[in-house]
Amino acid sequence: MAEPFTEIGVSGVDLYHGQSYDEYMPELRGERGMRTYRQMRDNDAINGAMLTAIEHLIRAATFSVDPADASPEARDAAAFVSNVFEDFDDHYTWDDLVTEACSQYTYGFASHEIVYKRRDDGNIGLSRLGIRVQETVYRYILSENNIIEALVQQPNSGGMFTIPADKLVHWQTTNSRGNPYGRSLLRNAYRSWYYKQQIEEIEATAIERELNGLPVVRVPNSLFEAANNGDQTANNTLDAYRKIVRDLRFNSQAGIILPSDPYQNQSDANLQYSNNRKVDVELVASQGTRNIDTSAVIKRYASDQARSILADFVLLGSDTRGSYALSQSKSDLFTQSVKAHSNRFAETINRQLIPKLWRMNGFDPATMPKVVVSQIAPMDLDSLGNYVKSLSGAGILLDDEEAQDWLMQQAGIPTDGEREAPIDSQDSEEQ
């Protein structure tokens, strides 16, 4: 009989020396994949808007520290953790931490090195959590069951650094298959993005050609014959004309210098010059219209990109279709998705950061608090008011003081019953 407490199999994820080969497309694998995802984020309006919306919603979310229980010791522990996040060194805030951690949505993962410090109260706190940029992560040192033991970093500035797991907070969009590199939110959008940007480039080139015309340079045939016979001067001349065709653009400094020699009329006994120049330039415009509507194709791919992360509401209003109810349902679905990301963000802090801080200080594990997400987006006060009105009309009165405080908070009205130890990035900036 097999030992019931022993893990026999493995996840099966394709990892070799801590580097992931689980991605079957070479364009999205390793450092090359990191560059591709960065290009998708920085050079595409749809991807940039989606990721910015996720980041801003998480940055605007209300994070709080919940005590382990109602005891004074647990409440003091929660207040300590909240103060730690407000007591970073100068020029580093909770908002900076959230922003850097949100890079996981582009790359699939993000790693921070924990930098501790001795606080004024004698306890150990946090100086900062330093981001280790994804492009500089050489590999992860993993245990047999794919648990991270260390990160090996190789920055472009030189050197190689090994950071042990005790000094790391590792964020992942998903822990699927035990892959420490996670999975980028842009992964499903790659194919649509690739074809869309290819079509956009073709469309831009086509528009330029349609407006300016296709440059054509006519030169004597003797020049080609001389070049074919090895005449270097003829070759250099042809190269100069090729450069004219390639670089001809309409701008403030555009211009061409051409020889003015015309052909001689061989039938004329006096060899009079004809009106035909030996070298000529013409911009040839295409005739007719095109049957392919590139705008519709590009819009389709953009819609596929947005749908890949449930953010297609960003495209509402770009055409005549759609309704308020549709936009509301799509926005609600996206908000729920962001809430799931925020919960995972808080869970990572609870599993990886707070326990390490507790061990460093030798605190009682029973008092260890948790970071929770209490609100992602502002409540629709009209809908909430109608709901409360319906409850009152049905004879269900909200006599609970905590419920009343919660309703006041949704309207932005301060109360005496606010949640214990909120994390506020603005407070940390003012300190």
Rounded Cα–Cα distance for residues 83 and 64 (Å): 11
**287-322 in b/e burial notation, b at 16+ Cβ within 10 A?**
eeeeeeeeeeebeebbbbbbebbbbbbbbbeeeeee
Segment 239-268, tens digit of pLDDT:
888 888 777 766 656 677 777 777 776 665
Domain spans of the chain, in order of start: 15-186+317-430, 214-284
Residue type, 196: K
pTM more than 0.75: no
Residue pair 136/154 in contact (Cβ under 8 Å)? The answer is: yes
Rounded Cα–Cα distance for residues 120 and 227 (Å): 81
Give how far the C-alpha of residue 270 lies from the chain's centroid of Cα atoms, to the nearest Å: 74
DSSP 69: S
The percent of the chain in helix, strand and coil, each rounded to the nearest 5, is 50, 15, 35
Segment 29-81, tens digit of pLDDT:
888 899 999 999 999 888 888 899 899 999 988 899 999 999 999 999 999 99
DSSP 3: -
Segment 324-371, tens digit of pLDDT:
455 566 677 788 888 999 999 999 999 999 999 999 999 999 999 999
Residue with tokens 């689980």: 22
